[in-house]
Amino acid sequence: MFFPERVKAVHPPDRVLEVGPGSTPHPFSQFFLEKCFPESQAVGQRGGLPPIEFHKPITYFDGGRFPFEDKEFDYVICSHVLEHVPDVDLFVGELTRVASRGYLEFPTIHYEYLYNFDEHLNLLCYRDGEVLWMPKSETRLNDFTLVQDFLRSTLRAGHDDVIQSLKESFFQGFEWTAPLVIRRVNEVGLLVPPGDEVGMKKPLSGGELIRELADRLRRRIGIG
C-alpha cells in the first residue's frame, strides 16, 4: 500500500476487514480474507515480498463469493488486489455486499505500461466517481514485453526510485461509500487518470533523506 494515510474513515467500534493483505496489511485491519494460492503463485501475488505471520483472524477462500454475511463489516480495505481478479464486477459486488464503505488502491495505466506484471489482469482508473476497468488482454501492452522485461529487472535489482518519486501518478487510492460504481470500458484513453501532471521534484531535507533511505532499506529486505 502506497497511501496508508488515506484510510481515515475508521472509528471504534468499526469492524475492519482487509481483502488480500499480502505481506503489508494495514494496521487498522482486524480481520483478513486471503485467496488460496500455491506458494509458486503466491510469491508473485505478493509482489515478490516474503510471507508474514498473521496475528489476527484470517479466512481463506477460493476467489468467488466472500464467506461472510451481508454487511458483516463496517469497512473493507482492498489494496493492490483489483488488478489481479478475473471478474472485477463480481469482486467489487462482494466488497460492497460485506461492507458499506472502504478503501481501494491500485496501479494506474502508467505503471502497467512500464512494468506489465503477468499477475495483473486488469487496467483500472478512478475517474469522476467511477472505477473504470479493462482486461489487459484487450490491449497491446504485450507488444512491449522485451522492454518491460528489462524494467521489471530494474525493480528486482532495487531500482525503485522512480516509483517512489512518482507514486501519485503510478497509483490511485481512495475511500468510497456504497454504492461503488464500476464500469467496463473499451477505450484505453479513458483509463488515463485525469489531471495527471508531474511536478518538479523537490530536494529532500536531511531528515527526509534519512527516512527515505530507511524506507528503501526496509523494502529491500521485505519489512515494514
pLDDT digits (tens, 9 = 90+) for 149-173: 999 999 999 999 999 999 999 999 9
Under DSSP, the state recorded for 200 is: P
Extract the C-alpha cell encoding 216: 528503501
Strands across the sheet with 181-184, in order? Answer: 122-127, 130-135, 181-184
Q: What is the pLDDT of residue 75?
A: 98
Full domain range(s) for residue 120: 4-221
Q: What is the pLDDT of residue 63?
A: 86
Q: Which residues of the chain have pLDDT under 50?
A: 45-46, 224
Q: Is the peptide bond before 179 cis (omega within 30 degrees of 0)?
A: yes
Pairing of strands 122-127, 58-61: unpaired
Domains in the chain: how many in total? Answer: 1
Q: Which amino acid is at 107?
A: P
Q: What is the pLDDT of residue 61?
A: 93
Extract the C-alpha cell encoding 48: 515478490
The residue with cell 480481520 is 31
Contact between 7 and 78 under an 8 Å Cβ cutoff? The reply is no
Q: What is the pLDDT of residue 224?
A: 45
Q: Give the residue among 106, 104, 100 at the shortest CA–CA distance from 15.
A: 100
Q: What is the pLDDT of residue 194?
A: 87
Q: Give the residue among 120, 214, 119 at the shortest CA–CA distance from 164.
A: 214
